[in-house]
A and B are shown apart, each in its own frame.
Chain A
Amino acid sequence: MWTINDFPAYGMLFGWSTHGKLTCPYYMESNKAFMVANGGKASFFDCYRHFLPLNHRYRKNIKDFFVGRVKKDVPSPHLSGEELHDVVSEYGDIMFGL
């Protein structure tokens, strides 16, 4: 059994808000989005190169992506259901939204 919803409702059912820069429900805290200075919104610019193989030529490209940035990191693994359950239980006693 699973659920299917649009993205705002996804946040409500999952309990992880899908607003702001920590939008992605898979990478959660470890996602690489940032707030752009002038637009004021979250941007996932330069957040895909770390999925590439380590020897990919795009990783060393300092010109066409984020200026002067070489990507050496690898994506963090998804949290499994058990791990998520532990995390959620940890936050369980806190009254959210207060």
Chain B
Amino acid sequence: MTHNWVKRSIFWELPYWKTNLVRHNLDVMHIEENMFENIFNTVMDVKGKTKDNIKARLDIVLYYNCKNMELVYDESQVAKPRASFMLEKNAQLLVYKWLKSLRFPDGHASNISRLVNIEECRLYGMKSHDCHVFMQTLIPLAFRDLLPKGLWEALTKISHFFRDICSSKLNVDHIERLQTNIVETLCKLEMIFPPSFFNSMEHLPIHLPFEAKVGGPVQYRWMYPFERLDITVAM
């Protein structure tokens, strides 16, 4: 199959639709949330959620030259060596304990310390907005000195990218700089994470600066107000 067209959208019947520069907005809220979850679960090696699973390691042999990440076959057992981007168990505990002690200003985010389960090493019930706060402010702090410097810098740049793109005031020069930076940052992540980490959600940030340039600040074009409205409608 060479295309993914499934229907002729009814919007094309609008007379102005074809002259629109942006017809459908990419949703920054979900992109940020999914990207945060991918990064966090992979770095913290959350069982069942990490993108760095056995199949990913099998793929590494095919596409990526990284000898120390390949599976080790030992008689009847298969071992998955620890990757450089994965935190060790005691480092993970440090992060979770730090999260447990975290206090936010009133109304800034939900009480993240309540979501931490130290015994199971999991975060439970993170809402989109908690992911948003974590992505933009906590990632550089949480992983500082724990991750290798190159990876920490790349993750910090991703964090700054989302903070910049979500700011209420944007100027065109700045957006163009964001565009070049995000490409380079994603290239840096490619040098570290396995191929299966890069699903479509990791691709979409490169289109966000274009949409911000044409459509204006993200806060008027994202899903937060409508997701909140859904709760009201459901009630």
Contact = CB atoms under 8 A, between A and B. Distances in A.
Interface in A31-64: 31, 33, 36-49, 51-52, 58, 63-64
A47 B18 contact: no
A24, A33, A92 interface centre (most CB from chain B within 10 Å): A24
A88 interface: yes
Contact of B199 (A25, A41, A81): A41
Nearest to A23: B200
A74 interface: no
Interface residues of B, number: 58
Nearest to B226: A4
Interface residues of A, number: 60
B169 interface: no
Interface of A: 1-7, 10-11, 13-20, 22-26, 28-29, 31, 33, 36-49, 51-52, 58, 63-67, 78, 81-82, 84-85, 87-89, 91-92, 96-97
Given A39-B55, A88-B5, A96-B7, 18 more contacts: A1-B16, A2-B24, A7-B200, A10-B24, A15-B6, A16-B4, A31-B203, A36-B55, A36-B63, A37-B58, A38-B58, A43-B199, A45-B64, A47-B203, A52-B187, A85-B18, A89-B8, A91-B5
